[in-house]
Amino acid sequence: MDPTLKNRLLVHLKEAIPELPRGLRAVAKYIIDHPSDFGLDPIRETARKAGVSTYTLIRLAEKMGVNSYDELREPFRQSLVSAAVSVDQPLWIDGLREKGEAGRTQADAALNSMAIVQRSLELLDYERMQRVVTLLLGAKDVYLTAVRASYSMAFYLHYVGRMALPSLQLIPRHMASAIDDLHMAGEGDVMIAITLTPYSRETVEACQFAQRKGIKLVLISDSEIVSPEFSADETLLASVLSTHHFGCYTGMMAVIETLLAMLVEQGGEDAQKRITSYEELRKETNAYWVAQKKH
């Protein structure tokens, strides 16, 4: 079997998504986001995970121009690499499990965090990271937006990143909307958007607006397919699998830390001077608490 067939099918699915009906679109997005599970699971399990009927999966195969569902899945089975990350379990994990139910919960959460950090860092393609860093450093203005829980990631990226990237602006400002702050932006500018499932309406609309204005879009998310209404110029993927109801952000934080490290390093001497300047300012304004000496 052609080893490139899986990748060609994924490209075909991404290109087809905007034109697919809602049910087929949901299946296509599921396959793109979970290619290993798709190759491994039987049709009923895939239908359950994607939230569709088995008939919808068969219809997608027909839409993709293959003879059967099994034929659509076979390239994914052949190139199957489990999405589950192998993490060496340290001895202290066993110690936690011996503490009872609460200890087992803590142990599972700790292992999950280590696994998704590793998985997220594996997904950081070197060439893509270089393109993103070059794009950000060469932009006239860089806008950064997120809402709700993702806002914490954006705030941190802005707080540290502006030292290496003085053009970085966190939006929305002054209780406005991100679209308000993008009104005067245009070609030569870049927007970074951070969002994960379930995707924020405000962030999706800001992405659509930015691309209509000719602004380059960098997405930090759990999927390359956030909305069929737009396609990011670059996407940095993070695993957000969680042992609780909400997405776990440790993988996304690892992606952001890597991006910051590269911006600081490639920002060169100017970035180092700005970092030193900020540190001196904080000392001058007594930003850090210092214990008083006892007489």
pLDDT in tens, 95-109: 999 999 999 999 999
Measuring CA to CA, how many Å separate 265 from each of 128, 130, 135, 252, 281? Answer: 17, 12, 15, 20, 22
Tokens 């540290």 label which residue?
A: 160
Is residue 284 pLDDT above 90, yes or no? yes
Joined together, the tokens standing for residue 211 give 């691309």
Kindly give the residue spans of alpha helices, DSSP state H, lying in the chain.
5-16, 22-33, 35-40, 43-50, 54-63, 69-78, 91-97, 101-122, 126-138, 149-164, 178-181, 201-212, 250-266, 268-284
Is residue 81 pLDDT above 50, yes or no? no
pTM here is 0.81
For range 274-288, the mean pLDDT:
92
Measuring CA to CA, how many Å separate 65 from each of 21, 95, 253, 258, 269? Answer: 16, 53, 40, 40, 54
For range 61-70, the mean pLDDT:
92
Q: What is the pLDDT of residue 99?
A: 94
Joined together, the tokens standing for residue 259 give 């991006």
Q: What is the pLDDT of residue 40?
A: 82
Confidence at 69, pLDDT banded by 50, 70, 90: very high
Q: What is the pLDDT of residue 79?
A: 64
- pLDDT 10s digits, 119-132: 899 989 999 999 99
Q: What is the pLDDT of residue 194?
A: 98
For range 210-227, the mean pLDDT:
94
- pLDDT 10s digits, 245-256: 888 999 999 999
For range 212-219, the mean pLDDT:
98
Measuring CA to CA, how many Å separate 67 from each of 12, 16, 33, 223, 266? Answer: 16, 18, 23, 28, 50
Whole-angstrom Cα distance, residue 192 to residue 151? Answer: 12
Whole-angstrom Cα distance, residue 76 to residue 42? Answer: 12
The residues facing 171 across adjacent strands are: 145
Strand pairing of 190-194 and 142-145?
parallel
Whole-angstrom Cα distance, residue 5 to residue 253? Answer: 33
For range 134-139, the mean pLDDT:
97
- pLDDT 10s digits, 171-214: 998 878 999 999 999 999 999 999 998 899 999 999 999 999 99
Closest of 181, 175, 219, 180 to residue 200, by C-alpha = 219
Is residue 230 pLDDT above 50, yes or no? yes
